[in-house]
């Protein structure tokens, strides 16, 4: 009988793509994916350690798996991803029921490492090279369609780079994902082409800081060097690609060439996730972000000049060490100035090995909670006001799900639109919709003929 594997992904879209890579790799070793953790021959946790909470979730699931393993002694447990990279040997020392710990750069070899393991003592594979070539790994075009509750294979992620060189003082990523390495442009273009030829309509390019694509490991094609804007133009030209998105960006590397891509590349979606983290220059300095609020706002203005309909979102950390009431008020002021369409906001948490974890002047949990609640309340109000601006307008909506229970899709600005009546359409179809209602987190629409 074929062996089954279950994979649970925590954290970011990079991890989602890495899970697809592991799934594909295991498929070629004869494993089949199951959606049930209970009773699977192999359980993989692809983990995230960006905040303490993310890591705690992994640890508690591992505790649960200890009991599962008593019930199913043949079950193998693998911890992959950022917690695996960060904790390495400590995981097997603390949790002997874990069979394999596999780091962020080692996922491509998962099948191989499982065979080596053979059910004996735990195995830890967490080598992290400073410079390496990201393996060419052609996508499995059928992969998404196999999943239950399918949203179709019309939208896929393509990783363009790994790692990060920025060393923001709060961030664990440079330690868990290593130095920045860009993929070869020809590999990226080939991957996108294969996906689009198989019916994919939307591609999201992924990297920890896509704006610095090609900077550290210049990726030559012939004699040409590419930066992110040039890569965007190459990918956008893939025949049949309807929508192109990317994430995530560090504002310090957002240049005019990239800003000019908006409004000039037809299929580049008018949305930008531009994490600011804080609205106070002194906090930004201690975060090692390398831009000021004024510079950030200048870039926001230029983006909006180029592309007035662009929807901006951001990430915010509240309660960074030493953040005063006045500093936090500046974050609230920035929110009023930019009026983001949406944001992700977090309480600062210490991460192992980061500079900020050694800073004094830590903020009390209760103060962090109060600041977070204030920020989120105001953001929710602004998101609703922003969403109301769409009511009465017509938008192209790419359908994500179309069933008796639910029909919904997404605008190019990345807003979810729900439809009340079942439509005769399928995932990936584009319909023209009039927006009829705005909620805080989504819109409602009705289909109109263009």
Q: Which residues are annotated as a binding site for [4Fe-4S] cluster?
A: 12, 48, 82, 164, 168, 171
Question: Which residue is listed with tokens 């709060």?
Answer: 170
- DSSP reduced 3-state for 204: strand
Partner interacting with residue 82 (select from ligand SF4, ligand 5AD, none; CB below 5-8 Å by kind):
ligand SF4
By C-beta, is 170 or 175 nearer to ligand 5AD?
170
Long-range residue pairs from 353-360, CB within 8 A, at least 24 positions apart, any chain: 353/86, 353/172, 353/175, 354/169, 354/170, 354/171, 354/172, 354/175, 355/167, 355/169, 355/288, 356/169, 356/170, 356/286, 356/287, 356/320, 356/321, 359/169, 359/286, 359/321, 359/322, 360/321, 360/322
Angle separating helix axes 365-388 and 325-338, nearest 10 degrees: 10
| Positive or negative: CA dihedral 443, 426, 401, 342 | negative
Question: Which residue is listed with tokens 């393509």?
Answer: 158
Partner interacting with residue 176 (select from ligand 5AD, ligand SF4, none; CB below 5-8 Å by kind):
ligand SF4
How many C-beta atoms lie closer than 10 Å to residue 297's C-beta?
A: 16
Residue 348, interface with ligand 5AD (CB under 6 A)? yes
Shortest reach from residue 82's CB to ligand SF4, in Å: 3
Shortest reach from residue 368's CB to ligand 5AD, in Å: 10
By C-beta, is 91 or 173 nearer to ligand SF4?
173
3-state helix, strand, coil in the chain (%, to 5): 35, 20, 45
Interface residues with ligand SF4 (CB under 6 A) are 11-12, 14-15, 48-50, 81-82, 172-173, 176-177
Do residues 170 and 121 lie in contact, with contact meaning Cβ atoms separated by under 8 Å?
no
CA distance 388 to 390: 5
The H-or-E segment that residue 49 falls in is none
By C-beta, is 15 or 411 nearer to ligand SF4?
15
Shortest reach from residue 169's CB to ligand 5AD, in Å: 9
**Which of 72, 132, 346, 359 touches ligand 5AD (CB under 6 A)?**
346
Partner interacting with residue 24 (select from ligand SF4, ligand 5AD, none; CB below 5-8 Å by kind):
none
Partner interacting with residue 227 (select from ligand SF4, ligand 5AD, none; CB below 5-8 Å by kind):
none
Site string for ligand 5AD, 289-328 (x = CB under 6 A): --------------------------x-x-----------
Q: Is 430 left (phi over 0), alpha (psi -120 to 50) or beta?
A: beta
By C-beta, is 35 or 52 nearer to ligand 5AD?
52
Angle separating helix axes 13-27 and 110-117, nearest 10 degrees: 60
Residue 368, interface with ligand 5AD (CB under 6 A)? no
Residue 359, interface with ligand 5AD (CB under 6 A)? no
Shortest reach from residue 59's CB to ligand SF4, in Å: 15
Shortest reach from residue 174's CB to ligand SF4, in Å: 10
**Contact region for ligand 5AD (CB under 6 A) — 286-294, 301-309, 348-356, 409-417?**
348-356
DSSP structure class, residue 219: -
Residue 351, interface with ligand 5AD (CB under 6 A)? yes
Question: Which residue is listed with tokens 């006045």?
Answer: 326
- DSSP reduced 3-state for 446: strand
Nearest partner of 316 among 347, 293, 295, 288, judged by Cα: 347
Do residues 274 and 310 lie in contact, with contact meaning Cβ atoms separated by under 8 Å?
no
Residue 51, interface with ligand 5AD (CB under 6 A)? yes
Residue 286, interface with ligand 5AD (CB under 6 A)? no
By C-beta, is 12 or 196 nearer to ligand SF4?
12
Q: Which residue is nearest to ligand 5AD (CB)?
A: 315
**Which of 13, 204, 221, 349 touches ligand 5AD (CB under 6 A)?**
349
- By CB under 6 A, name the binding residues for ligand 5AD: 50-51, 170-171, 275, 277, 315, 317, 346, 348-349, 351
């Amino acid at each position: 009988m074929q062996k089954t594997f279950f994979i649970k992904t925590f954290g970011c879209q990079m991890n989602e793509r890495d899970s697809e890579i592991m799934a594909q790799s295991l498929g070629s070793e004869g494993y089949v994916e199951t959606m049930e953790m209970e009773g699977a021959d192999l359980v993989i946790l692809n983990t995230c350690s960006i905040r303490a909470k993310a890591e705690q979730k992994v640890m508690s699931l591992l505790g649960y798996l200890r009991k599962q393993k008593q019930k199913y002694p043949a079950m193998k447990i693998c911890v992959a991803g950022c917690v695996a990279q960060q904790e390495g040997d400590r995981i097997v020392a603390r949790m002997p029921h874990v069979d394999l710990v596999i780091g962020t750069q080692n996922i491509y070899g998962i099948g191989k490492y499982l065979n080596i393991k053979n059910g004996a003592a735990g195995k830890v594979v967490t080598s992290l090279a400073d410079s390496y070539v990201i393996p060419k790994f052609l996508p499995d075009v059928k992969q998404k369609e196999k999943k239950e509750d399918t949203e179709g294979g019309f939208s896929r992620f393509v990783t363009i780079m790994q790692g990060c060189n920025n060393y923001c003082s709060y961030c664990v990523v440079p330690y868990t994902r290593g130095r920045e390495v860009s993929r070869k442009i020809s590999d990226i273009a080939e991957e996108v082409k294969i996906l689009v030829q198989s019916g994919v309509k939307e591609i999201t390019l992924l990297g920890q800081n896509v704006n610095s694509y090609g900077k550290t490991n210049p990726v030559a094609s012939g004699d040409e060097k590419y930066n992110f804007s040039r890569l965007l133009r190459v990918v956008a030209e893939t025949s049949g690609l309807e929508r192109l998105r990317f994430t995530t960006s560090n504002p310090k590397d957002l240049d005019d060439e990239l800003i000019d891509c908006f409004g000039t590349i037809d299929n580049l979606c008018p949305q930008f996730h531009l994490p600011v983290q804080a609205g106070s220059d002194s906090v930004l300095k201690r975060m090692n972000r390398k831009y000021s609020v004024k510079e950030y706002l200048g870039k926001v203005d230029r983006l909006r000049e180029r592309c007035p309909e662009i929807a901006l979102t951001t990430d915010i950390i509240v309660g960074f060490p030493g953040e005063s009431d006045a500093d936090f008020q500046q974050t609230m002021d920035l929110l009023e100035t930019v009026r983001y369409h949406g944001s992700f906001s977090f309480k600062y948490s210490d991460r192992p090995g980061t500079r900020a974890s050694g800073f004094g002047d830590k903020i009390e949990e209760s103060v962090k909670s109060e600041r977070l609640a204030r920020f989120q309340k105001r953001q929710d109000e602004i998101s609703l006001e922003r969403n109301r601006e769409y009511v009465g307008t017509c938008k192209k909506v790419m359908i994500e799900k179309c069933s008796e229970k639910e029909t919904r899709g997404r605008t190019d600005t990345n807003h979810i639109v729900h439809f009340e009546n079942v439509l005769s359409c399928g995932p990936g179809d584009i319909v023209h919709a009039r927006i009829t209602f705005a909620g805080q987190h989504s819109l409602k629409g009705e289909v109109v003929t263009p």
